[in-house]
Amino acid sequence: MLSDPEKKARYDQYGTVDFDGSGFGSGGFGGFDFGDMGGFGDIFESFFGGGGGSSRRRNGPVKGADIEYTLNLTFEEAIFGVEKEITINRNENCEECHGSGAKPGTSPKTCPTCNGSGQVRVQRQTPLGSFVSTSTCSTCGGKGTVVDSPCSSCSGRGKTRKTRKITINVPAGVDTGNVMPLRGQGEHGSNDGPPGDLYVRINVAKSKHFDRRGNDIYIDTHISMGKAALGVEITVPTVDGDVKYTIPAGTQSGTMFRLKGKGVPKVHSSARGDQYVKVIVDIPKTLTSKQKEALEAFMEACGESVDGEITHKKKGFKDIFK
């Protein structure tokens, strides 16, 4: 339609491409069901009071509201999984009246105003013609029933506020932003409607030692220039405990080593990510006279001198320290 200039112009002006000059669309007003028009239905309801002729019933089963809960975990709890007990508050069906709102031994009666439909129809005359609209029954509030003898426990509401403890099994590998849905653990429904759901949103605290990126873990380790040049065995912390790792001679600062399978478990899987160890070679900011002499000797062995002159006698780094 938008690619056709004539149809687009017609739509921009009249809101439809079927306009034939006789009214709103080829069928005039009769071509619209204001109760099924979304935003237009809301506009007509504000003017004429009701759903614009909609016959939708509002006293049918209604699902209970969902509940959202934020669960805070430590870094280690998220890595390995944990069992947690949480406390929530929710609206539940009254235990005395079982959600009916009526005193035990009695029952709700059909609303005499709307005859159980929960809605009343009103005909109004407007400048645009005669409209039949529907609105929520003011007598029963749209329930379709009224209670003559309300339940003393819930004051006729049919619901009471309860505090419940729920045990949650958090799987290994969860991360901040993950949401665990617990079906049927939300608030109870109305008119025999099903209960809502409980959505547990995960929030994981940062680790002092590890940097998590997805299912991989990153860590920095610092070594001296001598160890980087000669090679050294170091102790590397992992989430499973310390492990030994040999850094080869000549390792440069910024080199990254991988510890396979030492990362974060993948949720509901036996697979795990990896841990990456970044080597940082520390350059001393101050030197003792002995350290300075040793470095100058090393430079001379490499064909360098402090004053910039080049010598031709070279020795290996290991020979210098021998």
| Ligand-binding site membership of 137 (annotated) | yes
CA 211 vs. chain centroid, Å, equals 21
CB 317 within 8 A of CB 226: no
Structure tokens at 86: 């949480």
- Residues 6+ positions from 256 with CB-CB distance below 8 Å: 276, 277, 278, 279
Assign 3-class secondary structure to the chain: CCCCHHHHHHHHHHCCCCCCCCCCCCCHHHHCCHHHCCHHHHHHHHHHCCCCCCCCCCCCCECCCCEEEEEEECHHHHHHCEEEEEEEEEEEECCCCCCCCECCCCCCEECCCCCCCCEEEEEEEECCEEEEEEEECCCCCCCCEECCCECCCCCCCCEEEEEEEEEEEECCCCCCCCEEEECCCCCCCECCCCCCCEEEEEEECCCCCCEEECCEEEEEEEEEHHHHHHCEEEEECCCCCCEEEEECCCCCCCCEEEECCCCCECCCCCCECCEEEEEEEECCCCCCHHHHHHHHHHHHHCCCCCCCCCCCCCCCHHHHHC
| Ligand-binding site membership of 302 (annotated) | no
The residue behind tokens 């949720």 is 267
Exposure of 227 in the CB half-sphere (CA atoms within 13 A):
15
For the chain, the farthest-separated pair of C-alpha atoms sits apart, in whole angstroms, at: 112
| Ligand-binding site membership of 114 (annotated) | yes
User: From the annotation, which residues make up the binding site for Zn(2+)?
Assistant: 94, 97, 111, 114, 137, 140, 151, 154
Binding residue positions: 94, 97, 111, 114, 137, 140, 151, 154
